[in-house]
Structure 1
Amino acid sequence: MPLQNSLSENNPGNRKAQYFQGMKAGLPVVIGFISVAFAFSIMALQSGLYSWEAVMMSAMVFAGSSQMIAVTMADQGTGILTILLATFIINLRHLIMSTCVMNRIKGDNTALKLLAAFGVTDESFAIFTTTSEEKASVYYFLGLITVTYSSWVIGTAMGCAASSILPPILANSLNITMYAMFIGLLVPSLKGNLRLTAVVFLTAVFSFTMRFILDSAWTIISATLIGAVIGVYILSDEKEGETAILPETHRERTESI
């Protein structure tokens, strides 16, 4: 089987087919990416960035949550080192996601793997890790991230272009998009899982409490770290052989598409 997979991957026709299969798999998240990127661009402009800076940030960083947090913290006058620390901690999950993706990718083309690693997001990770082994190629993943990356950058550009014609009340209301996105990703994961619900609840209580002690920047950093520690402690003693929480949730979500 590995030899057959290697031979099929080396076939130019198969590589093209795998690439377009990946693009097709990414289509369901296009609307979500564009809408959140649109909201990010509004937030970025309101925080003082120029349109080209917002678009370049999306093109070079490609990490929605950390981009939004970075511009929010910058708008509040947070120091650059604190912003870097916050975004670094938030993006640490990419180490795990990239490792999982690279372990599934067949072949050993390092250059393509590096390119693929840049495109790892929560959504592309969820889609790719729930595909069959036959589709788990670097070309499939490149097709997938072509769609997600293009949607993110285009959505940012669209937001910048539309910012001047949007009513102020609508532009300001788009700030809740980030929170809505996080809630939309989180709530399905909590279904029937008391342990994960406990982690979220305790982290939320800690974050709310810290708002009265620390500034918003350090509240984000401390809540992220404490949430991770609580998660490890509560979820570490799950029964062996039990299907992992997030992958299963992602699988159900993908199958329902």
Structure 2
Amino acid sequence: MSNKNPKAQYFTGVRAGIPVILGFVPVGIAYAIMARQAGFSAFETVFMSIAVFAGASQMMAVGMYVQGASIIAMILATFILNLRHLIMSTCVVNRMKNEPTKRKLLATFGVTDESFAIFTTEKKENCSGLYFLGLITVTYSSWIAGSAIGAIASDFLPAIVTASLGIALYAMFIGILIPNLTHNLKLGLLVVLTAVCNSILTQLMASSWALILSTLVCAAIGVFFVDLDGQEVADDEH
């Protein structure tokens, strides 16, 4: 627990989250434009960001909606994609010693890949609940702000601009993948295998179910061959 006063703890977290704004706002705008083009109202678009707060899942859900996927398929796909949040939330809560339960519950809602990375690499003395709340205040508000800007701007931006923003989804996934792939050959091969598996299954079934099945199969393979620390599991046995 930090020895700083509560106000200092909170604003230390706020300062730590400021760089995330540069990523969250543009991607939030891209998500909102995608949602509006898919037929969502401005209210529905922003409300999804308020209630869900998971950019990759929201973009995937919108994409599956456009493809005509069933509600069950969308729920399953987003559930699988967000399973990692169970692990990340557990790690975050474990670093919050002697914090009130309400604060821990609130913190778990705000866990994202970015806030998790910042919090778990922060000095242990700064890892308080108030620090994390300050951090997610910035990430949450910037995501909603980006969504609101995109929902409004979609009515005024030229079609060529709104169409080009769709690449933000792919850029975001590449940005998440590349740092991990550079030190882990087997993880890179697993990503390629997943893409190939999805491409094949798409020819045999609905694309939404192909995505779910290829994710499950390749994730199961990854459990046995890929270590989360970036080293192949087989190497740890020597």
Normalising by structure 1, report the TM-score.
0.86
For 1:213, what is the secondary structure of its paired residue?
A: coil
Match of 1:229 in 2: 220
Q: What is the CA deviation profile of residues 124-146 of structure 1, one whole-angstrom value per residue up to 9, with x for unaligned ones?
A: 11111111111111111101100
Question: Paired residue for 1:199, among 162, 167, 190?
Answer: 190
Match of 1:184 in 2: 175
Please identify, of 90-99 and 218-227, the stretch whose mean Cα deviation from structure 2 is larger.
218-227
Match of 2:144 in 1: 153
Of all paired residues, the percent bearing the same amino acid is 55
Contact 2:186/2:225 (8 A) holds in 1: yes
Aligned length: 233
For 2:5, what is the secondary structure of its paired residue?
A: helix
**In 2: Cα distance, 1:195 partner to 1:17 partner:** 43
Residues 115-154 of structure 1 correspond to what in structure 2 (within 5 A)? 115-154=106-145
Task: For structure 2, list consecutive stretches of 5 or more residues without a partner in the other structure.
Answer: 228-232
For 2:166, what is the secondary structure of its paired residue?
A: helix
Note if 1:95 corresponds to 2:86: yes
Displacement of 1:226 after TM fit? Answer: 2.0
Match of 1:37 in 2: 28
For 1:66, what is the secondary structure of its paired residue?
A: helix
**Which residue type is aligned with residue 55 of structure 1?**
V
Contact 2:99/2:129 (8 A) holds in 1: no
**In 1: Cα distance, 2:57 partner to 2:176 partner:** 16
Displacement of 1:238 after TM fit? Answer: 4.7
Name segments (4+ residues, structure 1) moved above 3 Å: 238-241
| CA RMSD, Structure 1 to Structure 2 (Å) | 1.7
Normalising by structure 2, report the TM-score.
0.93
**Which residue type is aligned with residue 137 of structure 1?**
S
Q: What is the CA deviation profile of residues 124-176 of structure 1, one whole-angstrom value per residue up to 9, with x for unaligned ones?
A: 11111111111111111101100000000000000011111111111112111
